[in-house]
Structure 1
Amino acid sequence: MNTDEQTIAAVLMDYQDALNKSDAEAVIKLYTSDGVFMPQHSPSSVGVDAVRLAYDAVFRAITLKVDFEVAEIRQIATDWAIVRTNSAGTVKINATGIDAPEANQELFVFQRIEGTWKIARYCFSTINPPRA
C-alpha cells in the first residue's frame, strides 16, 4: 500500500474502534462536514448534524463488536478514494440483550480535506440472511 492507502486504512481502523465503543463523537470526527451516511433500510443522513443524530440512534439501538477487512482501496483522484470493505462480528440488540451475528459489505468514498482523509460517503448492506 502507498502512503495514502495506509492513511485511509488507519482511518477505517479508527472508524471500527469508534463503532465498537458506540462513540458517535469519535465517528463524527472521521466524516467530512457534508458527509453522507446511507444505512441499509434507512434514509440517508446528510451533513454532520444529521449523521451525528443517525449514529446516536444506532448506538441507542445496538452495540457492535465488528472487525473490518479492507478489500480494496482505489484512489480515483488526488483527493478522492473509493474503499470497499467487509465487516463481521456480533450485534447486541440493546432492547432485548440478544446477540446475533453481524456481517456487512461496505462502500466508502473518502475525501482529503486540508491534508486529512475523511469519510465523505458511506453505505453498507448485510451479507447475512434475513432475520426472522
Structure 2
Amino acid sequence: MKLNIVRYALVLVIAMTFTNGALASDNKAEAEIQALLLEYQNALKSSNTPAIVALYATDGVQMPPGAPSAVGKTAIETSYNATFDAIGLDLVFHIDEIDLFNKKSALLRTHSTGTVTLHTDNDKQVPAGFKELFIVKKEKGVWRFSHYSFSEAPAS
C-alpha cells in the first residue's frame, strides 16, 4: 500500500512538472505575441512603414477590407505607405484572444479604439474602432504576422 502511494505521488509530481513546463512555455509565447502587438501599435501611431513591415513574416499577407490582399513584404510596404499617405492612426489594441495552435503558430484576435487623422480633410480627427484577426507564426525563432485582416467596428 505504501509503495502504491509513493508511485502515485511520483506520477503526480512528474505530471505537474510537465504541465507547469507547458504552461510556462505558453505564457512565454503569449508574452512575446503581446510584445509583437505593442510594437505594431507603436509603429502604426508613428506611421513607421519599415518598422511595420519588419513585423511581418517573409510571406506575410495583409487583407484590408475593400482592397486587394497585399502578399509579401514589398506589397505590404506599398499598402502601408498608401494608408499613411491618406490617414494617420492612433489606436490602442485590446487582446480578446490568443489561441496557440502549436509552438510555432497562433491566432490573435483583438479590437482597437482611438482616432484616425484624415490627411485628405485638413487632418481632421475622427473616433475609430476596429476588429482585427492576426495569424502569427515563428520565423527564425521570432513571432511575426503571417496573416492580418481587420474591419471597422463601432468606436466605444
Distance in 1 (alpha carbons) for counterparts of 2:77 and 2:154: 26
- Taking only the aligned residue pairs, the percentage that are identical comes to 37
- 2:140 maps to 114
Across the aligned residues of Structure 1 and Structure 2, the Cα RMSD in angstroms comes to 1.1
For residues 73-121 of structure 1, give each alpha carbon's deviation from its aligned partner in whole angstroms, at most 9, with x where no partner exists.
0001220000000100000110112111110010000010111000000
Which consecutive segments of 4 or more residues in structure 1 shift more than 2 A?
none
Q: Whose helix proportion is higher, 1 or 2?
A: 2
For residues 33-62 of structure 1, give each alpha carbon's deviation from its aligned partner in whole angstroms, at most 9, with x where no partner exists.
110001111110000000000000001100
Distance in 2 (alpha carbons) for counterparts of 1:72 and 1:3: 15
1:24 aligned onto 2:34? no
- 2:7 maps to none
* The one of 22, 39, 48 aligned to 2:73: 48
Distance in 2 (alpha carbons) for counterparts of 1:33 and 1:113: 8
* TM-score, scaled to structure 1: 0.95
Distance in 2 (alpha carbons) for counterparts of 1:64 and 1:104: 11
The structure whose RCO (Cα within 8 Å, separation 6+) is larger is 1
Return the index of the structure with the highest Cα Rg: 2
Equivalences, count: 129
**Uncovered stretches (5+) of structure 1, i.e. residues with no partner:** none
* TM-score, scaled to structure 2: 0.80
- 2:149 maps to 123
Distance in 1 (alpha carbons) for counterparts of 2:41 and 2:125: 18
**Uncovered stretches (5+) of structure 2, i.e. residues with no partner:** 1-25
Distance in 2 (alpha carbons) for counterparts of 1:89 and 1:41: 21
